[in-house]
Structure 1
């Protein structure tokens, strides 16, 4: 038993020493595309993401991608997050659930995406749309996809120039 404790202690010590002075690697676009969800709206008590409005459990773990603790007020329109819910989703429309852990992507690329997405969401009538997700990124152009709130078969793409913040929204063609 002492041997296991000693090995565990050494591993913890090595892990702590190895992380000093090293920054967390910025996620690739493909990693963000696979794991990040776009926040449509947020308040201190809930966050609307994908097709669901989520409240927070009393002991919800909120942190940044870099590992620091955050508060719900740090999550804004356009933020990129990863989350785990309690698994219980109310069958209302939009659905309602509860978040038990949330990670806010706070790396430079994600912050740049957040700025462009927030600009789009703040300057476009977004009440009729849900289910925002990252689709493509090339140079300064970010493309996101979203769905019509009343007709989930109608899908739109928005092309956002992250340098100028100009954007275009068009119905996605059926392929």
Structure 2
């Protein structure tokens, strides 16, 4: 079983940890977070092992970056750059209730949470956060580092640029 480190210990990281537990295909080692007040604690029963740079000491573990700040949506992209990890280090986390068609593709480092759906020929880039109950329909393309908040729905052929944010319940056609 592959081992996984989650970068971040906030809400998105906690949701991702639950998806990892529910899927059961990765061994979750813990969270890494630069907030020193969290080091040595547990978040929802998952240990916070230390700062983000510890990822370099655990070279066998896969990684998913789960930071997201409504005041700074570029934080995930900056952290990927800062860590400088090879692309094959990044895991893709898909909750077992997510429906992903065989013609769809999800990039490395992306997270699909509970009850989201990718219908046909959907392309999700790298390090994308897809929250619960998001629906992506035929031929949608979601750029790297995008965030789709819970309940967002994209009509067929929609295109989201790198780093885009789509708010909760949004309908995009």
Select the structure that is richer in strand: 1
- TM more than 0.5: no
Select the structure that is richer in helix: 1
Asked which structure has the greater CA Rg, the reply is: 1
**RCO higher in 1 or 2 (8 Å CA, sep ≥ 6)?**
1
**TM-score normalised by L of structure 1:** 0.25
